[in-house]
Structure 1
């Protein structure tokens, strides 16, 4: 009996692997894997270096982040291999509901944790989760599904109401927790989903206008946010040096210290209590210091290739569900990377958003990997459709088979 059971399990595993091999590849899919994995590994290395001076013990945070990176890569692969567009549409509302429930627990339960003035974390025993990171992907999938259904059903009410209600409700939940940076990213995500699904310029402009007005109101009603913006125009670093200018000033010093070739892995000076959040929001400063201008440019090129891959895949899909997902993920990951680096370079005020795929934080890393896995699902589906359309067929009875040569290639 046991041998039969073992044989059945082996047959099931072989069938699963055979199904994986049938997933077609294209240059966009290959580029995403070729960039995402090295960026995650670089993140694990740099987080280890930046956090080696922490009181909990050298390399403790780095080892934990390396484990998160491995889990993220596996999760990305599992989603790409086994999830389909049909399944994604079915589970989208449930995934969004789970993310919303977790965010509500952050705001209105004793499990919520406040760090740095932001109530944005959920303490589940020894593990701390940041539901707002998964809320980004939930918003992308839910908006894309809503837009897809509204275009298919051609219903005016469906085409407007859910998009606005869901978007503003989720953004307000983040604003309640005083996380202006994440709220801004959610706003960018909505704009990306609308733009890449062919929404009218008037609708996109109206959302941008409402979002800009809300951002201005948020700045004017907070003296701390207003002071952050004012600090961008202060040329004398001695002004508010120990307060608002502490992080921006030492980030610039770190970049300058790195020069062209860098000081070498582990040789950062500012990570020794001079630059708070050096393994999180300011990890790019540590990269520029230890790996120099060359390392910083390589990171920028990595995000550039990732942006190209997402745009390339975007050109292969046809349905608005896939377009919304890919466009939203594109604006999320690339937009957030631009914002993070701009903050480090002191072009933007401190917003508190991590560098995607690199910064410390398991929730952010897993959410980005999950999002890229969903993009790969859309890419596989599109590539399968394209290959079927390109294959010339010949009639054999009631079956339609592709014409293949001896190598199995058309």
Structure 2
């Protein structure tokens, strides 16, 4: 037992761990600051969302530890992959039957009255594990360079099913992230560039077909006035500043008011009823207002470090399963950060995607924490791998 613990202490990725912890604590502080008014409106206290997120983090930390100590090699197990697929499909069927709508998307389920759960967050981690495991198992008998699209038809079918389910929620942000994750894992598999382009073409074609089918079938449920308004707000935000652009314009005001150093922690004006639900996808606007550009740099620096570290781990390892898992996790955080920041800054239409580790959300922080545990587990393996090479 001592040797086992000594192995973990010696090879544990402390920089990655402390960056993760810092971002979670920083997010908790900013959730408290951003949600004071919303919390008063909710239950008459200033710390309602703070307390809920603290509970979320305590639960997430347990799953983080499990992810860090569960050997990542087991993610290639066919039985585990089947179990995760069954759970994913079960959750989405539950969502179809008895889902709840929030933020313009029907993407939540009520778990026995205990908590609200978002299956698309589970699906992001599932796609990483399923794709990595499936490609890894195929590569054991046939080098990835020789694989053709028909050799891995099942992962593509699974991806199509998951994206189709998410399309029924009309959650475009989750569709973008899940699709981006799938592409990242395929790219990290070692497949030849020409064949990778074939896969990418297939994914783009079917992805466009799914969106087109969703528009035809769901009709007004997909192209809701809220979504059309977001597109108009993206094209010309100040023309609709009292309507569909209200949140975006007030986000701009918050960002512009912060300057270099910000107006001070807790001193935001825009959170006083101008920005609806500021603890969620617009929390970076509050950070910019209260802590200025320096606060934004701190957050983006922490997220950037995790993404960079994940990609470096993927590049260093000789294990294709570790490479695909690490690349998928790093890409997930990078894509979701871009979609969030891009939406509030006007680079892309607003999708309602949360900022990793910072925004309020129990399901999001739970599965991001599991992903970070897996990444640290892979990092420990890579360190041990390099020690063996050096003869240490």
The alpha-carbon distance between structure 1 residues 170 and 340, as it changes in their structure 2 partners (threshold 3 A), is same
- Aligned residue for 2:235? 233
Q: CA offsets, 1:13-38, max 9 Å, x none?
A: xx2x64232126569x3332121111
- Aligned residue for 2:125? 137
Q: For 2:30 and 2:282, how far apart are their aligned partners in 1?
A: 11
Match of 1:209 among 201, 204, 210: 204
**1:163-202 to 2 correspondence within 5 Å?**
163-199=155-191, 200-202=195-197
- In the alignment, is the contact (CA less than 8 A) between 2:76 and 2:137 conserved in 1? no
Taking only aligned residues, the RMSD between alpha carbons, in angstroms, comes to 2.3
Q: Match of 1:23, SS?
A: helix
- Aligned residue for 1:366? 366
Match of 1:49 among 23, 28, 33: 33
- Aligned residue for 1:351? 351
Q: For 2:175 and 2:211, how far apart are their aligned partners in 1?
A: 13
**1:372-387 to 2 correspondence within 5 Å?**
372-387=372-387
Which runs of 5 or more residues in structure 1 are unaligned?
1-14, 392-409
Q: For 2:215 and 2:24, how far apart are their aligned partners in 1?
A: 33
- In the alignment, is the contact (CA less than 8 A) between 2:11 and 2:384 conserved in 1? no
Q: CA deviation at 1:204?
A: 4.2
Q: CA deviation at 1:226?
A: 4.4
* Deviates further, 64-73 or 98-107: 64-73
- In the alignment, is the contact (CA less than 8 A) between 1:322 and 1:378 conserved in 2? yes
Q: Match of 1:119, SS?
A: strand
Q: CA offsets, 1:178-219, max 9 Å, x none?
A: 111111111101111111112333234314532663587468
Alignment of 1:295 with 2:295, yes or no, is yes
Q: CA deviation at 1:48?
A: 1.0
Alignment of 1:63 with 2:51, yes or no, is yes
**1:281-360 to 2 correspondence within 5 Å?**
281-360=281-360
Q: For 1:252 and 1:71, how far apart are their aligned partners in 2?
A: 34
The structure with the greater share of residues assigned to helix is: 2
Name the larger-Rg structure.
1
- Aligned residue for 1:94? 83
- In the alignment, is the contact (CA less than 8 A) between 1:79 and 1:370 conserved in 2? yes
Q: For 1:383 and 1:24, how far apart are their aligned partners in 2?
A: 12
- In the alignment, is the contact (CA less than 8 A) between 2:17 and 2:376 conserved in 1? no
- Aligned residue for 1:84? 71
- In the alignment, is the contact (CA less than 8 A) between 1:260 and 1:292 conserved in 2? yes
Q: Match of 1:120, SS?
A: strand
- In the alignment, is the contact (CA less than 8 A) between 2:149 and 2:199 conserved in 1? no
Q: For 1:95 and 1:355, how far apart are their aligned partners in 2?
A: 25
- In the alignment, is the contact (CA less than 8 A) between 1:193 and 1:328 conserved in 2? yes
**1:23-38 to 2 correspondence within 5 Å?**
23=8, 29-38=13-22
